Amino acid sequence: MKATHSAVGVYEPLQTLKPVDDNIWVVDGPLIHFKSVPFPTRTTIVRLQGDDLFVHSPVELTPDLKRAVDELGEVKHLVSPNRIHYWWIGQWAEHYPDAKKWASPGARAAAQKCGWGFDADLDSAQATPWHAEMEQLLVTGSRVLEEVVFFHRSSRTLILADLIENFEPQKVHSKPLKFLMKLAGILDPDGKLPIDLRLSYRGRHLALNSAIETMLAWQPERLVVSHGRWYRSNATEELKRAFRWVKVGE
């Protein structure tokens, strides 16, 4: 992957803290190319008790962003929610050597190719340092990509990476690319899991449906995604809409 300019617009200003609610922020980053597709990137930062910072899917760290983050608290946790979203964790770890690097399923092997490793694995059953403030769930069933999702209780914010992608049509400047994104089912206002990843759950919807029921039971008000427009309100209904393709009982 590499940061670049492309036919998809970004969410300026970049590398800037943007409040979501008390003790939670998003940071929009530059585009990356993954499998020749341009993706806008997004980090979510949660300030835990004691001013410890939980950094979900870090974007590229710039000097200005580092100064702003340091004013929030101390970076303690660098989190890869799935095996794709690990790219900048190594860079952050160079600046925050005392932060623990948390691996999602498959992320360890990916990071080794970059010459660094994780410190701990994410697991739904374990008591994490943030368990008093955030729920955590490993979403299984896919043959390709499993993801760990988080729910910040006090702000009622659900944090996802690729389980929903929601590209805004007006930010996609290439008509062929926009057409392909529509076919993939990832254009706002009906963004969802891309079609290739939906197919990876074929015959395995039971596990996914169980995870969706858990997320719905949390009754989120906000839903942050890594790619495209995130949802500032009505998150529970958006979750139902985005996963209406899941077959109960399969």
Rounded distance between C-alpha atoms, residue 69 and residue 55, angstroms: 10
For residue 194, the number of C-alpha atoms closer than 13 Å in the C-beta half-sphere is 14
Token pair 């980053």 in the structure block, residue: 29
Rounded distance between C-alpha atoms, residue 27 and residue 22, angstroms: 15
Rounded distance between C-alpha atoms, residue 186 and residue 39, angstroms: 12
149 touches 213 (CB < 8 A): no
Indicate the domain borders of the chain: 3-242
CA quadruple 3, 35, 192, 212: dihedral, nearest 10 = -100
Selection from 81, 67, 57, 51 nearest residue 17 by Cα: 67
Low-confidence ranges of the chain (pLDDT < 70): 1-6, 124-126
Whether the link from the prior residue into 13 is cis, omega within 30° of 0, is yes
pLDDT in tens, 1-12: 444 446 899 999
The predicted model scores a pTM of: 0.95
Mode of pairing for the β-strands spanning 3-4 and 24-34: antiparallel
3-242: CATH topology: Metallo-beta-lactamase; Chain A (3.60.15)
For the CA atoms of the chain, what is the radius of gyration? 17
pLDDT score, position 124: 67
C-alpha to C-alpha distances, 11 to 24, 91, 147, nearest whole angstrom? 18, 22, 24
pLDDT score, position 113: 85
SS3 17: strand
pLDDT score, position 7: 84
168 touches 178 (CB < 8 A): no
The crossing angle, in degrees rounded to 10, of helices 205-217 and 235-242 is 170
pLDDT score, position 72: 98
Q: Which amino acid is it at 21?
A: D
Rounded distance between C-alpha atoms, residue 168 and residue 8, angstroms: 9
pLDDT score, position 36: 73
Token pair 């999602």 in the structure block, residue: 104
DSSP string, 43-54: EEEEE-GGGEEE
pLDDT in tens, 137-169: 999 999 999 999 999 999 999 999 999 999 999
Start-to-end CA distance of the chain, whole Å, equals: 35
Please state the three-class secondary structure of 221-242 as a single string: CEEECCCECCECCCHHHHHHHH
